[in-house]
Amino acid sequence: MPTIITHSFTGLVSGAASYNKSFPKRFWLFSIICSIIPDADVICFELGFSYDHFLGHRGFFHSLFFACILGSFIGILLMGVRKLEWKKRLFFAGYFSFLISLHDILDTFTNGGLGVALLSPFDTARYFSPFTPIQVSPINPYTFFNGRAIDILKNEIIWVWIPYVCIVLLFRYISSRMKKKHRGYRLID
């Protein structure tokens, strides 16, 4: 898996790209939580589930189905506490589902583990991307901070941080150009 640092980074960058001053402050908290929440499945190790179990690491909780369910729950219910209109709640549902899914997809680009059960519960096979340039980060923090941290973070900056910032900046540029273009048109009564 990429590190919790890199997953959090994607949540912050996505939040910066999507942020609107009308958003509640908890938007930032949920952006970070959603970007890392699939890795909470490591708790299942303590509960006796093996890595390759349905509930094991990178199993069901790394599926696109789970991402849509949890992202929708957070977007519609938790973000909608202040009686937000449905259009905004649906935006949040899609946004948080995207962040959770992004975590899952990034994990498929790592060079270790058993793969990611992207299609669970419908298909429990584990998948990797055909291209796996991201060094897998150890689950154990002691192992991570005991010598491999710098190499892993350098790798993630090259393969995740820089490309993701470029994609987000391109998206923002295209979005702003489209808004400017559409402002110039007026409907004739």
How does pLDDT run across 34-90, given as a tens digit for each residue?
Answer: 999 999 999 999 999 999 999 999 999 999 999 999 999 999 887 766 677 888 889
Helices 149-156 and 4-18: crossing angle, nearest 10°? Answer: 30
Judged against a pLDDT cut of 70, whether residue 188 lies above it is answered with no
Distance separating alpha carbons of residues 150 and 91, to the nearest angstrom: 36
Cβ atoms 152, 140 nearer than 8 A? no
Q: Which residues pair with 134 in a beta bridge?
A: 110
The torsion defined by the Cα of 69, 71, 73 and 78, in degrees rounded to 10, comes to 170
Number of residues in the chain: 189
Of 106, 118, 113, the C-alpha closest to 62 is 118
Judged against a pLDDT cut of 70, whether residue 184 lies above it is answered with no
pTM of the model: 0.89
Sequence-distant (6+) residues with CB within 8 A of 183 are: none
Judged against a pLDDT cut of 60, whether residue 6 lies above it is answered with yes
Instruction: State the pLDDT at residue 168.
Output: 93
Distance separating alpha carbons of residues 38 and 123, to the nearest angstrom: 18
Mean pLDDT over 172-182 rounds to 83
Distance separating alpha carbons of residues 76 and 94, to the nearest angstrom: 10
pLDDT tens-digit series, residues 7-20: 999 999 999 999 88
Mean pLDDT of the chain: 90
pLDDT tens-digit series, residues 90-137: 999 999 999 999 999 999 999 999 999 999 999 999 999 999 999 999
